[in-house]
Structure formats: structure tokens, C-alpha cells
């Protein structure tokens, strides 16, 4: 059946490109989706948080799309240029160093800007570290709160106080440099709750430790933590 166009269709024709928010693996490259590879190959440009990790991905999946850097330290400066390209009809894919762009990374800024400018934002779903950890934590998954990273210095106590009596599962991201400090503070603040420490998910040295805060403090005391961590804390009972 022929498609009928209204007279208005030319007036409303909008040459804007789209921002594709493409999830990439959090470790194991086999976790990329077919659709992610297709999109990364077909867009005009890839804005990537970590150019080194992006080139590993590009090499593995034969992606020769031009890449540009977009990270924490240049996001504000890079945004107007990317918006201009999108307004001129270019399709751009956004990828973070791992997982889903916009989750605890600078992706938020360009995504919000596109929404404000009426530029289509299309999500290509895939891995996210906190959901991967939560799913196998064994702690309740029916209600949870994602806290992301605690502030590195000021404001940590205030954030913990705000969630003291929340009864659902609480999720944090943490780096190897701060994990000891954070777990110690969680113990001081919340007492001996259950905690799941998910390290290096989907990677060679993946480790998921289901324990209590007092035991986690004791074990971490004797180790030099390495890798990336998700902490899943039991809610208030």
C-alpha cells in the first residue's frame, strides 16, 4: 500500500542525526551485542570515554568508524561540537570505558544536552556493572537504590546518613584505592550488615564474596585490593 504523505511532511522534515548510547562489555568482550557492533560500524563518529579501550574493541570487531574523545575532563568543552554535528545530520555513538554510558560517567551531560535540543537519543542496551552484580548477589532485588560512588572526601558522612534507615538493598561503585576506606566507613555507620563484594565481573579474576561488613573489614585489612568493585549492601532491618 502506498504511503500517504501530508503536505506538512516536508515542513516537519528534520535533518538531525541521532545520538546512539551504546553499552559495551564491562570486561569480557564476548558480551558485546550484535546490535552494538552494527551501530558502531554504521554511525559517522564514535565519541569514546577511553580511546585505548575503544581501539581494543574496534580492532576485535573490525570497526573503522572515526573516533573522538569525550571524557570527564573534556566533556563540557566537547559537548557543543558534538551537538553541532548532530544538528547537521551526523549520527554519533557514545561509548564509555565500560558498560552503559550515562551510569556514573560523563555520558549524562551529552545525553541531557541532546534531549534539551530535541536530538533523538537511542539506547543500545547491554552490560552495566551494578545490575550484573545485583542479579547474583543473593540480596533482595525487588527494591534497590543505586548510590554510585560516594564523594571522595567531603560529604561522605552526609550521604551515608541519608540512607541509614533505607530498607532496600543499597549499591555502591568503588575503586581499588578507596575500597578499604569505604568498607570501614560502611561498617562504622551501618553495623554488621551483610555485604556482597563483586570484583572484576566477567573478567579472568572475577570474584564475588558474600559476607558481613565486619568480616569484609578483617579480610581487606590483610590485602592490597586490585580491580574494579561493586558493593551490594543489605538494607536496614
Name the residue whose CB lies closest to ligand SAM.
Answer: 99
Query: CB of residue 172 vs ligand SAM: minimum separation in angstroms?
Result: 8
CB of 52 to ligand SAM, least distance (A): 15
Q: Given the complex with ligand SAM, which of 17 and 27 has the nearer CB atom?
A: 27
- C-alpha separations of 122 from 110, 211, 227 in Å: 13, 39, 31
Which helix or strand (DSSP H or E) is residue 170 part of? strand 169-174
Q: What is the C-alpha to C-alpha distance for residues 159 and 170, in angstroms, rounded to an integer?
A: 12
Minimum CB–partner distance for residue 16 and ligand SAM (Å): 26
Q: Which of 183, 186, 145, 147 is nearest to 166 (CA)?
A: 145
Alpha-carbon distance of 192 to 137, in angstroms, equals 17
Q: Which is nearer to ligand SAM, 50 or 215 (CB)?
A: 50
C-alpha span between 230 and 203 (Å, rounded): 14
Smallest distance, Å, CB 68 to ligand SAM? 19
Q: Nearest distance from residue 142's CB to ligand SAM, in Å?
A: 21
- Which positions from 62 to 101 touch ligand SAM by CB under 6 A, shown as an x/- string? ----------------------------------x-xxx-
Nearest Cα residue to 103 out of 125, 120, 87: 125
Q: Quick one: which of 194, 237, 190, 199 has its CA closest to 216?
A: 194
CB of 99 to ligand SAM, least distance (A): 2
Rule CB under 6 A: which of 172-211 touch ligand SAM?
173-175, 198-203
* 50 lies in the binding site for ligand SAM (CB under 6 A): no
The C-alpha atoms of residue 20 and residue 82 are separated, in whole angstroms, by: 12
x/- contact string, 102-131, with ligand SAM (CB under 6 A)?
-xxx----------------------xxx-
Binding to ligand SAM (CB under 6 A) within 218-237 occurs at: 228-230
Alpha-carbon span 230 to 237, nearest angstrom: 22
For residue 104, how many other CB atoms are within 10 A of its CB?
17
Binding positions for ligand SAM, rule: CB under 6 A:
26-27, 96, 98-100, 103-105, 128-130, 173-175, 198-203, 228-230
Amino acid at each position: 500500500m502506498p504511503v500517504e504523505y501530508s503536505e506538512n511532511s516536508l515542513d516537519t522534515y528534520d535533518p538531525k542525526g541521532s545520538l546512539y548510547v551504546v553499552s559495551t562489555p564491562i570486561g569480557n568482550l564476548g558480551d558485546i551485542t550484535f546490535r552494538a557492533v552494527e551501530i558502531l560500524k554504521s554511525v559517522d563518529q564514535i565519541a569514546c570515554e577511553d580511546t585505548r579501550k575503544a581501539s581494543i574493541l574496534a580492532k576485535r570487531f573490525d570497526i573503522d568508524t572515526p573516533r573522538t574523545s569525550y571524557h570527564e575532563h573534556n566533556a563540557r568543552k566537547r559537548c557543543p561540537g558534538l551537538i553541532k554535528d548532530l544538528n547537521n545530520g551526523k549520527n554519533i555513538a557514545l561509548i564509555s570505558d565500560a558498560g552503559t554510558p550515562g551510569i556514573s560517567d560523563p555520558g549524562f551531560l551529552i545525553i541531557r544536552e541532546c534531549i534539551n535540543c530535541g536530538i533523538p537519543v537511542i539506547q543500545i542496551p547491554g552490560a552495566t556493572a551494578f545490575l550484573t552484580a545485583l542479579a547474583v548477589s543473593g540480596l533482595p532485588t525487588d527494591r534497590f537504590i543505586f548510590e554510585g560512588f560516594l564523594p571522595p572526601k567531603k560529604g561522605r558522612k552526609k550521604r551515608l546518613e541519608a540512607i541509614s534507615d533505607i530498607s532496600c538493598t543499597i549499591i555502591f561503585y568503588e575503586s581499588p584505592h578507596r575500597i578499604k576506606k569505604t568498607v570501614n566507613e560502611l561498617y562504622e555507620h551501618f553495623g554488621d550488615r551483610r555485604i556482597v563484594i563483586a570484583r572484576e565481573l566477567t573478567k579472568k579474576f572475577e570474584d564475588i564474596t558474600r559476607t558481613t561488613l565486619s568480616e569484609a573489614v578483617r579480610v581487606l585489612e590483610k590485602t592490597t585490593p586490585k580491580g574494579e568493585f561493586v558493593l551490594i549492601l543489605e538494607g536496614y532491618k
